[in-house]
């Protein structure tokens, strides 16, 4: 690979653009987290532990089922649209946009019918509490799939606001308003009612986003007759589907297993701890939004020095806010959880354990995106697969013995192990160090050279 050396001005521009985009994403994400957290607090208070636990249990399943429904197409669209845009291969660009919509819709309908059939079959032989809520929640699967695809499409069109504002801000606001209306009218809000409101909120959000997205695509991309490379796209999307599936299994299995083994009350409290612990990875999520395309560009140019500089710089951007948030949540765990209700303060130890796991993840940096965006997704998918299996096994062992605290330990340990493993793979295959420790040593020189 031929290495090119960018000028200091070019490096400053790249990091300056990243900083600007990160600022926009920060505002959207911060507003989104605030609104979402407010929604969860209100829902928990309006529904109580049991109904809130049922609601979270079904939402977790809908998120998991939306993964095979989407068939890895969101990340595939993001990757190929960015590539076709640079190469000006407009026919292939429009081809993947149109085919991804059709495949997502058809596949999500198929997954929904299969899931409904399994639920009805299981309930026929052995009645279980979640049957009716799960059947109602099936409608969320195609909606989740479409909103994920639209998000990736808007990202590929380089519109961060259009990508994230609908799902992060508009949808939660609609859910909050709908829940408030029902609660004020009937003085109660059940898990089933909340799921129905969620489906309406998803549908309205999708239609609203689509109304802005279509004109944006026509403006950004040159009109052309669609050209289809279905086999190539599905080949890549399958690998990305596997990787994202394993990741979502890791992130959702603990909540599902807590609900299945310990019941909806414990599931509700544990879900509050999980959502709160995600505050630690808030900045990591933002940086991944805006930095991933830069990883691809610099690696394709053979500019490993520039890539290392960007990786080390964003690692610092990620680390210090994550440390500050971790300290805050460790010290004020009970008051923060008390926002959900006094009963939720019992999940304090679960929150502290999950915070530590998320802090280690932040210290490892953007390891997952570095592997995918540099073409090493086949190597990283093995790590995610092993981590998913390990997470299930550890939760199966720990939850019966230690309750929800066991789930927190199992999930945090899995998070730490797969991030460290991926860090070694990034060094070996990409040729850069993603860890924050390198950024700490380079921070002084980076400040003087970048000037930002």
pLDDT digits (tens, 9 = 90+) for 146-177: 999 999 898 888 788 888 899 889 999 999 99
Tell me, yes or no, whether 293 lies in a domain.
yes
pLDDT, tens only, 240-266: 888 887 887 888 888 888 888 888 888
Q: State which residues form the domain around 275.
A: 8-450
| pTM as predicted | 0.72
CA distance from start to end of the chain:
30
pLDDT, tens only, 185-239: 887 888 888 888 999 999 999 999 999 999 999 888 888 888 888 888 888 888 8
Tell me, yes or no, whether 392 lies in a domain.
yes
If we measure between CA atoms, which residue out of 77, 105, 104, 97 comes closest to residue 217?
97
Tell me, yes or no, whether 2 lies in a domain.
no
Tell me, yes or no, whether 313 lies in a domain.
yes
Contact present, 87 and 221 (Cβ < 8 Å): no
Tell me, yes or no, whether 3 lies in a domain.
no
* Domain count across the chain: 1
Tell me, yes or no, whether 445 lies in a domain.
yes
> Tokens representing 350?
């679960």
For residue 340, the 8-state DSSP code is T
> Tokens representing 169?
């801000």
pLDDT, tens only, 395-449: 999 999 999 999 999 999 999 998 999 999 999 888 888 877 655 555 444 444 4
| C-alpha distance from residue 411 to each of 98, 244, 353, 405 (Å) | 38, 17, 9, 10
How sure is the predictor about 6, in pLDDT bands with cuts at 50, 70 and 90?
Answer: very low
If we measure between CA atoms, which residue out of 335, 297, 308, 264 comes closest to residue 432?
308
Contacts of 432 (CB under 8 A, 6+ apart): 304, 307, 308, 311, 370, 426
- The span from the CA of 400 to the CA of 398, in Å, is 6
């Amino acid at each position: 690979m031929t290495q090119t050396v960018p000028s200091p001005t070019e490096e400053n521009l790249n990091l300056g653009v990243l900083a600007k985009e990160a600022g926009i994403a920060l505002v959207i994400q911060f507003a989104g987290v605030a609104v979402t957290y407010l929604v969860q607090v209100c829902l928990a208070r309006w529904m109580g532990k049991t109904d809130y636990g049922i609601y979270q249990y079904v939402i977790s399943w809908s998120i998991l089922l939306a993964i095979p429904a989407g068939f890895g197409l969101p990340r595939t669209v993001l990757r190929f649209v960015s590539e076709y845009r640079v190469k000006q291969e407009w026919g292939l660009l429009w081809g993947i946009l149109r085919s991804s919509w059709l495949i997502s819709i058809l596949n999500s309908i198929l997954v929904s019918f299969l899931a409904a059939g399994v639920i009805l079959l299981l309930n026929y032989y052995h009645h279980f509490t979640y049957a009716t809520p799960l059947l109602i929640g099936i409608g969320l699967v195609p909606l989740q799939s479409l909103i994920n695809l639209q998000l990736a499409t808007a990202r590929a069109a380089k519109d961060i606001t259009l990508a994230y504002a609908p799902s992060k801000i508009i949808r939660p606001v609609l859910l909050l308003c709908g829940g408030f209306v029902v609660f004020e009218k009937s003085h109660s809000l059940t898990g089933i009612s909340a799921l129905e409101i969620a489906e309406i909120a998803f549908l309205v959000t999708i239609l609203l986003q689509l109304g802005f997205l279509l004109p944006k695509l026509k403006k950004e991309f040159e009109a052309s007759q669609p050209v289809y490379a279905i086999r190539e796209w599905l080949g890549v999307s399958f690998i990305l589907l596997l990787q994202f599936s394993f990741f979502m299994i890791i992130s959702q299995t603990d909540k599902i297993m807590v609900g299945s083994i310990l019941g909806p009350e414990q599931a509700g409290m544990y879900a509050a701890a999980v959502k709160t612990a995600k505050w630690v990875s808030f900045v990591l999520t933002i940086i991944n939004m805006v930095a991933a395309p830069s990883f691809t560009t610099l690696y394709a140019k053979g500019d490993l020095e520039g890539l290392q500089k960007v990786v080390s710089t964003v690692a610092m951007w990620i680390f210090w806010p994550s440390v500050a948030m971790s300290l805050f949540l460790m010290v004020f765990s009970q008051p923060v959880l008390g926002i959900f209700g006094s009963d939720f303060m019992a999940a304090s130890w679960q929150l502290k354990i999950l915070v530590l796991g998320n802090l280690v993840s932040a210290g490892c940096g953007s390891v997952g995106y570095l592997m995918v965006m540099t073409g090493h997704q086949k190597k990283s998918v093995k790590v995610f697969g092993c981590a998913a299996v390990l997470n299930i096994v550890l939760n199966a062992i720990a939850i019966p013995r230690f309750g929800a605290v066991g789930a927190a330990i199992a999930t945090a340990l899995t998070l730490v192990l797969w991030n460290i493993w991926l860090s070694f793979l990034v060094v070996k295959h990409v040729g850069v160090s993603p860890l924050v420790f390198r950024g700490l040593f380079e921070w002084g020189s980076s400040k003087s050279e970048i000037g930002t």
